[in-house]
Copies of this chain bind each other. A is one copy, B any other.
Amino acid sequence: MMPGPNSTSAKYTMAAGPVSIHDRVRQAYARQLLYHYDPAFHALFDDTTMKLQQVFQTSGDVVIMQGEAVLGLEAASACMVRPGDKCLNLVSGVFGAGYARHFRYYSGQDPVEVKVAYNQSIDPSDVRKVLKQEGDIRFISMVHSETPSGTLNPVREICALAQEYEAISIVDAVSSLGGMDVPVDEWGADVCVAGPHKCLGAAPGSALIAVSERAWEAMRVHPSPLRGSYLSLLDWKELWMEQRRFPFTIFVSQINGLNEALTMVLEEGLGPRIKRHSQVARMCRMGAKGMNLGLWPASEEIMSTCVTAISVPEGIDAHELVDHMRERYGIVITGSLKELEGRLIRIGHMGHMAQRVYVEMALSALELSLLDLGYPVQLEQGVGAARAAI
């Protein structure tokens, strides 16, 4: 019943998240459970929160919601958006596009959108134009690292515009935190949501959220403030932060792993860790180009450093390629989603897997797989180019 990790053939997961994680983090998940009201657990939870603040580079509040990262993104709208609120949704990929549904559900109307092709990133001047034109935009949502496309959006500039136009910003930094610079206070982001299972190097199971004072205020002034719900951020503020009561039972073993992963991030240092992701991403891009594959994003400047999105060459079936790499070479990468399904493959180099050796391993398996499937790649051109990039 554990065909993967127990088999004798090596298997490395370099999908778009989760990816293989470090031993230290894995062993943390095996610790004996504590009761969530055990003072020892409270100490651990507080320590985790404090470390998370450091990684978010914020002196404001951070909340560790007990659900997948998308819970935090939905919660932002559920708690703040009032019926009739005008919202601006920025769309440069599948995840950006998906956020419209929350704005629609909670405001009761379609959001305004700025939309670009899924291999592009949002232009702040377009955002300014819309903000000016609409006048009363109350919320702007944006995706920092649009993982399905392998692209980055200029969050810093857009958050500045949000502040200028007094809109509240909701930032999806799910896949970037821990691998790219996410300076929440500097940006002035209001709600910024990350996941543990991407660049932070832990398992999925938490929604990590930085919340500004403006955002708390927006929740409190909501005509029917959301309390007593799984989607409530206010519960965390009022029960946990103010009264030290958890809204419900906490994922204690998940917190064990998250704490260890954050500890490792801080031990390595944010700067070196961001640089590592950047170098390894560059290496992966060079490798792909070396085997004459096209990168999906329109330009190098907008490429995310957690995942490399590669256009599937003519005549190759993305699913078959991914399956072949996994079954024949033990390396798990992934295709993409929705509109991009079948058009891209993505190699994830996040957290523990953002290392030269793993990228080489993935590129090598990719070369061989392309050859096996009849695509005319010349052996070693990819891996060689990747190495030359170091």
Contact = CB atoms under 8 A, between A and B. Distances in A.
A329 interface: yes
Contact of A251 (B30, B35, B205, B268): B205
Contact of A361 (B8, B204, B252, B360): B360
A162 to B, nearest CB: 24
Given A37-B334, A69-B249, A31 B2 contact: yes
Contacts of A31: 2, 5, 23, 26
A253 interface: yes
A29 interface: yes
Given A13-B38, A203-B253, A33 B18 contact: yes
Interface centre among A9, A15, A68 (most CB of B within 10 A): A68
B379 A379 contact: no
Interface stretch (A41-49, A56-64, A82-90): A41-49
A81 B251 CA distance: 28
14 contacts: A2-B40, A5-B32, A10-B358, A13-B38, A15-B38, A18-B35, A26-B31, A36-B204, A67-B67, A98-B228, A105-B228, A203-B252, A357-B365, A360-B361
Interface string A329-361: 111101000000000000000001001111011
Interface in A86-109: 98, 101-102, 105
Interface stretch (A111-119, A164-172, A309-317, A381-389): A381-389
B249 A197 contact: yes
Interface in A245-290: 248-254, 257, 259, 263-264, 267-268, 276
A120 interface: no
Closest 3 CB pairs of A and B: A380-B380, A4-B40, A30-B30
A176 to B, nearest CB: 15
A44 B10 contact: no
B203 A33 contact: yes
A361 B388 CA distance: 16
Given A230-B67, A379-B380, A3 B268 contact: no
A334 B35 contact: yes
Given A4-B40, A27-B30, 11 more contacts: A1-B259, A5-B23, A20-B32, A27-B27, A29-B30, A29-B253, A33-B203, A36-B204, A204-B251, A364-B387, A380-B381
A326 interface: yes
A125 interface: no
A122 interface: no
A373 interface: no
A211 interface: no
B71 A249 contact: no
A221 interface: no
A252 B267 CA distance: 26
A132 interface: no
Given A66-B205, A197-B249, A355 B10 contact: yes
A74 B40 contact: no
Contact of A66 (B21, B68, B248): B68
Contacts of A47: 1
Nearest to A74: B230
B205 A254 contact: yes
Given A30-B26, A251-B204, A330-B357, A66 B69 contact: no
Given A204-B250, A383-B383, A26 B35 contact: no
A332 B34 CA distance: 9
Contacts of A21: 32-33
